[in-house]
Structure 1
Amino acid sequence: MTQMTDLGRTRVAVAAGFFLQGLVFASIVTQAPRLKDRFDIGDGGLTGILVLVAVVSGVGSVLAGMIAQRRTSATAFRIALLTIGLGALLVGAAPSLPLVVAAFVVYGLGVGAVDAGMNMQGVRVQAAYGTSIMASFHGMWSVGGILGALYAAGVARVDVPFALSLVVIAIVTWAVALVAAPRFVRAQERDPGLSAKGLDLPWRPVLVFGLVILLFYASDTGILTWSSVYLEDALDASTSVAPLAYGAYQGGALVSRFGGDLLVRRIGAPAVVAIGTVTGVIGLATVVAAAAPAMAIIGFFVVGLGLAILAPLAFAALAGAVPARSLDVAIARMNIANYLGAILGGGLIGAAASADHLRWAFVIPLVLVPVVLLFTRSFRTADDLQRT
């Protein structure tokens, strides 16, 4: 009984880390207009900063793998959470554009390290439970993201200074991280003296599931960046209706992630991935074909309902495909695909959108996402972590 209680507390602690990542990200990104006004940053400059964050995040992911290899993933996760809090504080307090860029570098390092650390911890908690719970962890990221966006909208409405709004986020992040960290999984399933070159790390699963991660985050970033613009400019939606596109997408993601684990337990990960991919493609086709805002909003909901399950199951499948002693490093390296996808989504999809052909912005993921169907059988390793 005590062991199960302790495991439950560990699950809550790790879920809190996922929540904080979504909260901090949304609190910063959704206040981008205030940041632009404060430093007179153009659209190109803001895009450059976001690309820089994506690149630096890849470095942060690698650093998290190194820390986990030498210490534990719990240590890497704790340091990473404290770093995103620091990054938020620095972004809010920076008095000049060069210092804002430097602050985003700190934040980017933390983002990459948290993404790696939270998934390292998540798959270990799932293994301890012996059943699929990984999707619910990613669901907590979505909850944090929604609350962060609502918080950003609220502080802007009552005219709370940008810096103060992020000071509050930093304090909340540090407080929750320090309370949660003692409950993180501290297992180190490897020889501390083993070098990175000596790790038994099969590259095929890292590349296969990394490709799935890349395709998901390319679509996800494209929707985050261009869904509202698409509704407003191509479908003549009002400024109050246009944001509902991304809200609908996140609503679908919540349903997918909090319901996905139950589905995996019943029919297995490969079937869930196949169903999710096909559902996402149907949603993207609906978005591309939309003649009115309401149809596009429904399409974005269906996209979230289908595609949001891919990322958690990719990490779960990787955990079942590599030796335990190599798991942390494998997750850190595969996680780099997250940021390659973000760059692809912000770059390639953005190029199509900025060429006055907004529908083409969503034709690109519509064509790319079906590639996931070629690898659905590989996801059977996610089922290996469940008790028989």
Structure 2
Amino acid sequence: MTQPLTRTRVAVAAGFFLQGLVFAAIVTQTPRIKDKFGIDDGALTGILVLVAVVSGVGSVIAGMIAERRTSAVAFKLALATIGLGALLVGLAPNLGLLLAAFVIYGLGVGGVDAGMNMQGVRVQKAYGRSIMANFHGMWSVGGITGALYASGVAEIDVPLAISLVIVAVVVWLVVVWASPAFIEAQEHEAGLSAKGLDLPWRPILIFGLVVLLFYAADTGILTWSSVYLEDALDASKTVAPLAYGAYQAGALFSRFGGDFLVRRIGAPSVVAIGTTVGIVGLVTVVSAAAPAMAIAGFFIAGLGLAILAPLAFAALAGAVPATALDVAIARMNIANYLGAILGGGLIGAAATADHLRWAFVIPLVLIPIVLLTARSFRTADPDSVEAV
């Protein structure tokens, strides 16, 4: 690697930040999108599911590009694509073109999710210590920044189109600065993406299951936590959003402190502790008698669960040959979107059936399965050479 390692780390972290920024800048403005195009909640849900499905395709495409070129190229193109997607969502004059814009954005999202983790695990390998959780923490920082930005532009009545044009320009400027520092040198096994059965599927499936379970819980919490407080616990419209904020605050603590814990006690122990803490948080949410108790539960859930995704990617990187790494990450990343669809669908179905408290029993039942995989996470420790 010819670039200074610190600049490479900052550049890759910037990519994680941009993903969170664009996602939040679009999703938190969905009320404005609904008003502009006159669509209802059902249609909006359909659009979000479409984005999740297309993102899986984008992840596979990123794996193919990484195999034929490098993960740096895949990451750079995908970041440019989410900028384009944001631009087109803002400028779309009718529903048909809005759907096309979200398809483009979804392809970019899948590519960025895959590309940023491909680059992140390589930077971690170069450092020789756990830093993946910090990268995912930058995604959370980007998400919070994007939400604050969306709130600000709405407050001063900046048109949706202009607000997203600004986001797109910011993305492209950062990509121009950051992409030269991405890690270019990689090993490849020609044609691996076309010969999917040759991939090391056992670690992909083990850690992919963890990713699926995490994002099923994560999507359900992010989508329905505020609704739960308002409808089931009679919280005010001012208090209800604090559930989302509490969960994200817990996630920040988890991700920015998680790498330190991995270095001290090892990834398997961190996964076991994080999962257990997450279960405690979900139990608190389900049994909450008042909004304050539920808000505390969501914070505890974020504190425990948010470490699972970055360590799953780090563990996969330690369990597969270097020649298969990029394609393996792209394949496992599909579990992200399957989990989002599963969590959003199951919890949403329970919520629409007026059983909001029971809706959060779904992630409470699913998350303990992660404990069965904890020992496999020894490959997330940078000094580990064991196979899953």
Would you call these one fold, judging by a TM-score over 0.5?
Answer: yes
Residues of 1 paired with 2:242 and 2:196: CA distance?
A: 49
Match of 1:161 among 133, 145, 159: 159
Whether the aligned pair in 1 keeps the contact of 2:193 and 2:327 (CA below 8 Å) is no
After TM superposition, the structure 1 = structure 2 runs for residues 308-323 of structure 1, keeping only pairs within 5 Å, are 308-323=306-321
Residues of 2 paired with 1:163 and 1:120: CA distance?
A: 32
1:45 match: 43
2:267 match: 269
Q: 1:256 to 1:129 in 2, by over 3 A?
A: same
Whether the aligned pair in 2 keeps the contact of 1:313 and 1:379 (CA below 8 Å) is yes
Residues of 2 paired with 1:111 and 1:363: CA distance?
A: 29
SS at match of 1:240: coil
Residues of 2 paired with 1:148 and 1:239: CA distance?
A: 21
Runs of 5+ consecutive residues of structure 1 not aligned to the other structure: none
What is the CA deviation profile of residues 296-320 of structure 1, one whole-angstrom value per residue up to 9, with x for unaligned ones?
A: 0000000000000000000000000
Structure 1 position 28 matched with structure 2 position 26: yes
Q: 1:385 to 1:21 in 2, by over 3 A?
A: farther
Residues of 2 paired with 1:130 and 1:51: CA distance?
A: 38
Match of 1:355 among 338, 347, 353: 353
What is the CA deviation profile of residues 143-169 of structure 1, one whole-angstrom value per residue up to 9, with x for unaligned ones?
A: 000000000011111110000000000
Q: 1:39 to 1:328 in 2, by over 3 A?
A: same
1:111 match: 109
Residue 201 of structure 1 and its aligned partner are, at CA, apart by: 2.1
1:18 match: 16
Whether the aligned pair in 2 keeps the contact of 1:65 and 1:328 (CA below 8 Å) is yes
Runs of 5+ consecutive residues of structure 2 not aligned to the other structure: none
Q: 1:193 to 1:368 in 2, by over 3 A?
A: closer
- 1:169 alignment partner AA: V
Residue 88 of structure 1 and its aligned partner are, at CA, apart by: 0.1
- 1:36 alignment partner AA: K
2:67 match: 69
1:259 match: 257
2:366 match: 368
Structure 1 position 337 matched with structure 2 position 326: no
1:55 match: 53
Residue 196 of structure 1 and its aligned partner are, at CA, apart by: 3.5
Structure 1 position 346 matched with structure 2 position 375: no
Counting aligned pairs with the same residue, the percent is 79
Match of 2:78 among 77, 80, 83: 80
1:240 match: 238
Whether the aligned pair in 1 keeps the contact of 2:255 and 2:307 (CA below 8 Å) is yes
Whether the aligned pair in 2 keeps the contact of 1:280 and 1:304 (CA below 8 Å) is yes
SS at match of 2:4: helix
Q: 1:199 to 1:326 in 2, by over 3 A?
A: farther
Match of 1:214 among 208, 212, 215: 212
SS at match of 1:359: helix
2:171 match: 173
Whether the aligned pair in 1 keeps the contact of 2:21 and 2:139 (CA below 8 Å) is yes
The normalised TM-score by structure 2 is 0.97
Residue 386 of structure 1 and its aligned partner are, at CA, apart by: 6.5
What is the CA deviation profile of residues 269-309 of structure 1, one whole-angstrom value per residue up to 9, with x for unaligned ones?
A: 00000000000000000000001000000000000000000
Match of 2:290 among 289, 292, 301: 292
Q: 1:41 to 1:223 in 2, by over 3 A?
A: same
Whether the aligned pair in 1 keeps the contact of 2:199 and 2:328 (CA below 8 Å) is yes
Residue 178 of structure 1 and its aligned partner are, at CA, apart by: 1.1
SS at match of 1:177: helix
Match of 2:182 among 169, 184, 194: 184
Whether the aligned pair in 2 keeps the contact of 1:138 and 1:312 (CA below 8 Å) is yes
Structure 1 position 149 matched with structure 2 position 132: no
Residues of 2 paired with 1:126 and 1:255: CA distance?
A: 20
Residue 263 of structure 1 and its aligned partner are, at CA, apart by: 0.1
Match of 2:203 among 194, 202, 205: 205
Q: Indicate the RMSD between aligned Cα atoms, in angstroms.
A: 1.4
Residue 49 of structure 1 and its aligned partner are, at CA, apart by: 0.1
SS at match of 2:360: helix
2:135 match: 137
Whether the aligned pair in 2 keeps the contact of 1:218 and 1:344 (CA below 8 Å) is yes
Whether the aligned pair in 2 keeps the contact of 1:135 and 1:261 (CA below 8 Å) is yes
Residues of 1 paired with 2:193 and 2:369: CA distance?
A: 35
Q: 1:175 to 1:229 in 2, by over 3 A?
A: same
Residues of 2 paired with 1:193 and 1:219: CA distance?
A: 35
